DNA sequence: GTCTATAATCAGATAGAC
DNA sequence: GTCTATCTGATTATAGAC
């Protein structure tokens, strides 16, 4: 038998409490600080409970990521329905807390196949929905797919916002103000002044 | 006294051997795998030697980063002297091994002040030298700083290359080919066909 | 100046009690 | 179905030997 040990039900209250604790720990001290003992301490539960609700630490990381990713998809869906989806995405992409968690998960995923696949899966879904919504904005602004394919617009915007936030967290600033200005000038051209 | 313990000299042979081992370990299994024992094992030395040459693991990480960063500055300086600095930077920025180490250091730096400052310091130096070199390329191509400030060109190029490489490592591909095409079309306009 | 023996702590995991 | 007592091994760090 592969897994003779029993496991707690997916919607037990303490399971969610543990994920909450793990998330805060990861944000405050990085993924390496997410150990069964520390998670339990933060959740005010016994360390062994982590192993009751999750087969191992990897499964906990996976649960953390999936919960965040699903919530994010809903937030993005609302943003894309707004009258100014590009402005909404731009603000969405420059949120510092999200960026910090993102870089932790990326580093973790570098060496964990299952998590890597999960991140790729969700990231493609985010991009797919962005692309669909943005296509019509570009069309309305008279920018054809030959000049700028919608998916490229999303790759560029994602890249720039992510790197700016990340560098900002590092304490860097060279070129940031000028880049913000250029991006926002372009957004104004496409969607007008932000609401 | 803050540090009564003795420490190995900075250019002892085994010190470099330990940094080599740590770097390979970080690349292969992530920063969390860089423990004194594993580093020593890979270097074929005793674990306690790590603590002889470095005050703690943080100092080892710092030494790793600094050595890489200095070497990278020299590589970049050569790239910037080439007849096509933008093409050279573009290739430079899309190297997968560099990208993997970069994301490990970023995640580490999220929670270590000294490393964070060191990364910011070097990153600003990289950008500064890029900006100086690229300014004349843009000028020659008739693109004034009002249209595209050189530093913004570098922020954009860095961002896009980094995210593309990172997503590629994740197994993502949506929008990549199209983005590559657009970037390289632009580079051709500025510097002509790559050598 | 270089390295080792050893301490003190913390990690993940599981069998078994309620 | 929920939780605990406990094992086994890894990790950092230091005092002291060569």
| Closest C-alpha to A189, from A86, A91, A88 | A86
Q: Which residue has the higher pLDDT, A82 or B9?
A: A82
Average pLDDT over residues B116-142: 97
- At residue A10, the pLDDT reads 78
Tokens representing A76 are: 């993005």
| Interatomic CA distance for residues A107 and A113, integer angstroms | 12
- At residue B69, the pLDDT reads 96
Average pLDDT over residues B126-130: 98
Residues 6+ apart with CB under 8 A from B81: none
Does the pLDDT of residue B64 top 90, yes or no?
Answer: yes
Dihedral sign of CA atoms A127, B180, B178, A140 in order: positive
- C1' of nucleotide C6: residue with nearest CA: B48
- Model confidence pLDDT, tens digit, residues B153-183: 999 999 999 999 999 999 999 999 999 999 9
- Where residue B6 falls among pLDDT bands split at 50, 70, 90? low
Q: Which of residues 44-103 of B touch A (CB under 8 A)?
A: 100, 103
Nearest CA of chain B to the CA of A65: how many Å?
15
* Nearest Cα residue in chain B from A160: B159
Nearest CA of chain B to the CA of A12: how many Å?
30
Residues 6+ apart with CB under 8 A from B146: none
CB contacts of A170 in chain B (<8 Å) are 106, 109, 116, 119-120, 123
- At residue A9, the pLDDT reads 79
- At residue B10, the pLDDT reads 78
- At residue B7, the pLDDT reads 78
| Interatomic CA distance for residues A144 and A133, integer angstroms | 15
- C1' of nucleotide C4: residue with nearest CA: B48
- Model confidence pLDDT, tens digit, residues A176-192: 999 999 999 999 999 99
Does the pLDDT of residue B4 top 60, yes or no?
Answer: no
Residues 6+ apart with CB under 8 A from A186: none
- At residue A44, the pLDDT reads 94
| Closest C-alpha to A159, from B146, B94, B107, B1 | B94
Single pTM value for the model: 0.93
Instruction: List bases, strand D, within 7 Å of protein CB.
Output: 1-6, 10-16
């Amino acid at each position: 038998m592969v897994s003779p040990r029993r496991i707690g039900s997916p919607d037990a209250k303490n399971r969610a409490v543990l994920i909450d604790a793990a998330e805060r720990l990861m944000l405050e001290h990085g993924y390496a600080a997410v150990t069964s003992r520390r998670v339990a301490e933060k959740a005010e539960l016994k360390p062994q409970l982590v192993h009751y609700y999750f087969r191992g630490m990897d499964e906990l990381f996976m649960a953390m990521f999936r919960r965040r990713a699903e919530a994010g998809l809903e937030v993005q869906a609302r943003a894309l329905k707004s009258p100014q989806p590009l402005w909404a995405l731009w603000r969405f992409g420059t949120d510092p807390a999200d960026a910090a968690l993102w870089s932790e998960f990326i580093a973790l995923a570098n060496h964990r196949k299952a998590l890597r696949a999960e991140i790729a899966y969700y990231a493609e879904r985010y991009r797919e929905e962005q692309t669909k919504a943005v296509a019509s904005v570009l069309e309305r602004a008279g920018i054809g797919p030959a000049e700028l394919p919608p998916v490229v617009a999303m790759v560029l915007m994602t890249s720039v916002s992510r790197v700016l936030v990340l560098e900002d967290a590092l304490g860097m600033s060279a070129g940031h103000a000028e880049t913000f200005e250029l991006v926002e000038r372009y957004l104004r051209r496409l969607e007008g002044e932000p609401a």
